[in-house]
Structure 1
Amino acid sequence: MSRTLVIQLARLGDLVQTMPMIMALRKLSPRDTIDLLCPEPLRDLGTLIPGLDRVVGWDGARWHRWAAQATQGLRPNQREEIEQELRALCPHTYDRAFVLNQHTRAIVAGTLLAKECVGPLAHGPLSEQLTPWAAYVREIARTRRSNRIHLSDAFCGMCGLLPPGTPPRCLTPLLSPSRNLEPIGQGGGPWIGVIVGAGDPARQIPIEVWRTWIVRFLAVLPRGRVVLIGHGAECDRARDIQHAMPPSILGRIWDLTGQTTIHALAQVLARCQYVVGSDTGPLHLAAAVGTPTLGWYFARARVHETGPYGSGHRIWQAQSEDGGAVVPATWPIEPSLDVLLNTSPRAQSQWSHWTSQIDEWGTYYSEAGQSSAPPREREALWHELSPAMPV
């Protein structure tokens, strides 16, 4: 048996989108020890990912301080302090580390903690040459050209793995619901989770748009309920969304912003019939717990790269003539409500409508009204970027 460390030091959404790679690795190596190194605030999320033996939290703030101090020279005892911290994190050296970030901190962590690193660099930590998959991901991000390989599947390719072919699912959190969570999903319905914000301010759906959507939803579905989801810094957005709404509507809205741990958030998302939001971490977590999602993708978010993973998710993609960031003039309020009413979604100017599928090459999205057959270029790209892999 070998010991493997998966390193993902980015945000919540990136960690969720690492799950297909972990699933593929576990299928390939059922007897190996597979651990995860992730940011300390996301450690609880790591405990919900199946296939892992241990989750190690990375204190990014502490390591950043050490790095800043090192530029001016290490204190006499600081090297020993760092070595002790590494031994506490990982008492044993790993046989290999899969590094999923192109950031220096992740590459250094893999080099320090494992005998061999697999990831973005082709020839070790001091190399500037990217592997074919890492170069492809960087080029897509830089040029914004057409792309049909999902980021989760690119993570698999970067690690020399094929996508698992089925969407992974988070484990069910083992906790009793608190009093304010217990009613969610019980009676009435459908229960819709509304993600009020986004980590990237450019991807925040305007407050007035959310207010309009919620009022329309509660009007057309009299038994419907809304759950407002967000972290503590988004409580003001949630309050502004509810401002001046009639009491009859407010009685059908549960505001949970700033009130959920990661485990509680996963449980809330699993209790909803749908979750609506922009390209942000909780939307990907909703897909990972098995809840269908309705995504509004704009700014620089692109459905083919980071649409929710799996099948049956619906995305409205804002159109851009030059491939740059999009600030929508209209919003797909009515088309997304059509989905909840089980009617054919109407067209919306400036937006295209996509639905997700999954096959042996991973997740892909087909445009509404077009063939759902997988795009041929995906298989060709796998052969091009993974020539040594038996694909």
Structure 2
Amino acid sequence: MKHHLIIQLARFGDLVQTKRLVKSLEGPGSQVHILVDASLVRLGSLLYPHAQIHSLYAHGPGVHGNLGAVQVFRCNRKTMQKLAEQKFSQVFNLNYSGMNHALSRLFSPEIVRGHGCLGPQATKSVWTDLGFRWARFRATQGINLVDYWAHLADAPIAPELVNPAASGKGGGIGIVLAGRNSRRSLPPSILAGVGASVWSAHGRGKIILLGSKSERDAGRALISHFPSAIREKVVNLAGKTDWNGLFDVISDLDTVVTPDTGTMHLAAHLGIPVQAVFLSSAWCFETGPYGLGHTIWQSVFSCAPCVESQPCPHEVACLEPFASRDFLRVLSSGKFDRDIPGITGLHSGFDELGATYFPFCGKDPYARERSTFRNFLSMHLGIGCPEEANIPQSLADMMYLEKDWMTRPYIGPLPQEGVHG
């Protein structure tokens, strides 16, 4: 029996987006282990029932209530000792953090992929290092995070086998109130129009508000912006669902209206259609919903995608198109007969790398550059590249550095054992 460990210490959405990698490692004679933050153990068990879930207290004070430092230390030490004693064939260390680098020292560098250490030196696999290079050019380069992590494996499963094709189940619409980053979310005054329009197009059943305890007030504010005829249809579940309850609620819905959130990825995991709004720093080509049957409304201002931590010099102008009459009319009618300035509508789909998104309303201003880059990655991974693809030398010069072959301070297999490293 081969044992594989995935270290995924990031948040809710990141754990869901690890699915293609998990499924690529599962199979006869193979046991997948996943190390997660202690707050996500139950979620991990629901998402990956065939995996062994291990827990670590990885996040800061307040995440785990009043747990004391001594207790955290003892629990973490016990987990680390158990992992160090397990004979893993491969370790996939997915996050760039001090904790992840420290954990990598529990294992032989030869079996670690992703982020690791050689002595005191933090290192990256070839594929991971390449990802850090293309991340500087977010608008034109990159792939879905699900596929980025999956291609650390020797043989990722086909992308269409990751999530079920989405179809509505008849239980009304869900509205996710907000994401972790405020600029990525629509304020209640705009979200009310979007939600009412989608509700009108989907049979006018129940409206379920989804969010954490901290978003209960946002739920009440949203309800106050709805027309009176809609308010009686609304059920505010913000802060009222545990992981099991959230699974149950979402799996019964017709569609989920959401910004870029963990709940969006959970809906895709469950095969529920997503109507996603992406603006500010959210870029669907990096973290869009995975699978067939999803719709994304992407802000395409020239400054997108921005950096959330920096002040917006344009007073978040990318919010305005989501309040426009044209956009709301398109949502409520389902007729995509007009372009909406500032927004591109896209449908989810696949190519040889994984998830991608195809415009049906408006234009993708970087489609040509992105296609070239994806051809480059396909060639790099050895999974095919169209003969007519014209990959410029400048792109290869930018992505490949002399140290890639002169010295190799990397972990993981050599290129001839897996070109992705």
Change over 3 Å in CA distance of 1:280–1:34 after alignment to 2: same
Task: Give, as a single letter, the amino acid of the residue that structure 2 aligns with 1:331.
Answer: F
Using the TM superposition, give the Cα deviation of residue 226 of structure 1 relative to its aligned residue in structure 2, in angstroms.
1.3
Matched, 1:210 2:187: no
Task: Please state how far the C-alpha of 1:123 moved relative to its aligned partner.
Answer: 6.2
The equivalent residue for 1:192 is 173
RMSD (Å) for aligned C-alpha atoms: 3.6
Aligned to 1:303: 284
**TM (normalized to structure 1)?**
0.80
Asked whether the 8 Å contact 1:336–1:345 carries over to 2, the reply is no
Q: Structure 2 counterpart of 1:382, which letter?
A: S
Give the secondary structure class of the aligned counterpart of 1:267: helix
Rounded to whole Å, the distance in 2 between the matches of 1:251 and 1:9 is 40
Asked if the contact 2:296/2:347 (under 8 Å) is kept, the reply is yes
Indicate the residue corresponding to 1:179 in structure 2.
none
Give 2:357's aligned residue: 365
Contact 1:94 1:115 in 2 (8 A): no
CA 1:79 to 1:219, structure 2 compared with 1: closer, same or farther past 3 Å? Answer: closer
The answer for the alignment partner of 2:18 in structure 1 is 18
Q: Is the 8 A contact 1:35 1:53 kept in 2?
A: yes
SS of 1:310's equivalent?
Answer: coil
Aligned counterpart in structure 2 of residue 254 of structure 1, from 218, 235, 239:
235
Displacement after TM superposition at 1:277 (Å): 1.1
1:317 to 298, 302, 308: 298
CA contact 1:153–1:363 (8 Å) conserved in 2: yes
Distance (Å, rounded) in 2 between the aligned partners of 1:337 and 1:30: 51
Q: Equivalent of 1:135, from 104, 129, 139?
A: 129
1:378 pairs with 371, 374, 379, which one? Answer: 374
2:37–2:59 Cα contact (<8 Å) kept: no
1:228–1:253 Cα contact (<8 Å) kept: yes
Distance 2:286 2:59 in 1: 29
Equivalent position of 1:162 in the other structure? 156
Matched to 1:165, the amino acid is P
Distance 1:343 1:111, change over 3 A: same
Change (3 A) 1:321 1:218: closer
CA drift of 1:385 comes to 5.3
Quote the Cα distance in structure 2 between the aligned partners of 1:379 and 1:163: 19
Letter of the 2:248 partner, please give it: Q
What TM-score comes out, normalization by structure 2 length? 0.75
Q: Deviations over 1:107-129 (max 9, x none)?
A: 32233267754333476364344
The verdict on how the C-alpha distance between 1:338 and 1:142 changes in structure 2, with shifts beyond 3 A counting, is: same
Q: Which amino acid aligns with 2:131?
A: V
In structure 2, C-alpha distance between the alignment counterparts of 1:125 and 1:306, rounded to whole Å: 33
Separation of aligned partners in 2, 1:271 and 1:367 = 28
- Partners of 1:121 and 1:127 within 8 A in 2: no
Which segments of 5 or more consecutive residues in structure 1 lack a partner in the other structure?
66-74, 171-184
Cα offset, 1:242, TM superposition: 0.9
Q: Which of 344, 352, 362 is the matching residue for 2:336?
A: 344
Q: 1:358 Cα deviation (Å)?
A: 1.9
1:305-362 per-position Cα deviation (integer Å, ceiling 9, x unaligned)? 1111112211111113244527312216754764564433632111111111124421
Number of equivalences: 364
Q: CA 1:32–1:272 in 2, change beyond 3 Å: closer, same or farther?
A: same
8 Å contact 1:195–1:276 — kept in the other structure? yes
Distance 2:139 2:238 in 1: 36
Partner SS state of residue 48, structure 1: helix
Distance 1:224 1:338 in 2: 19
Letter in structure 2 aligned against 1:264? G
**Residues 163 and 360, structure 1, Cα contact 8 Å, conserved in 2:** no
Shift of residue 215, structure 1, vs aligned partner: 3.7
Aligned residue in 2 for 1:355: 347
Structure 1: distance between partners of 2:260 and 2:88: 34
Tell me if structure 2 keeps the 8 A contact 1:163–1:362. Answer: no
**What is the aligned partner in structure 1 of residue 90 from structure 2?**
96
The CA deviation at 1:375 is: 3.6
**Paired residue for 1:3?**
3
Question: CA–CA distance in 2 between the matches of 1:167 and 1:42?
Answer: 24
CA distance in 1, matches of 2:42, 2:73: 30
Runs of 5+ in structure 2 lacking a partner? 64-69, 307-311, 383-414
What's the secondary structure of 1:368's corresponding residue? strand
SS for the counterpart of 2:91 is strand
Partner in structure 2 of residue 49 of structure 1: 47
Distance 1:190 1:350 in 2: 32
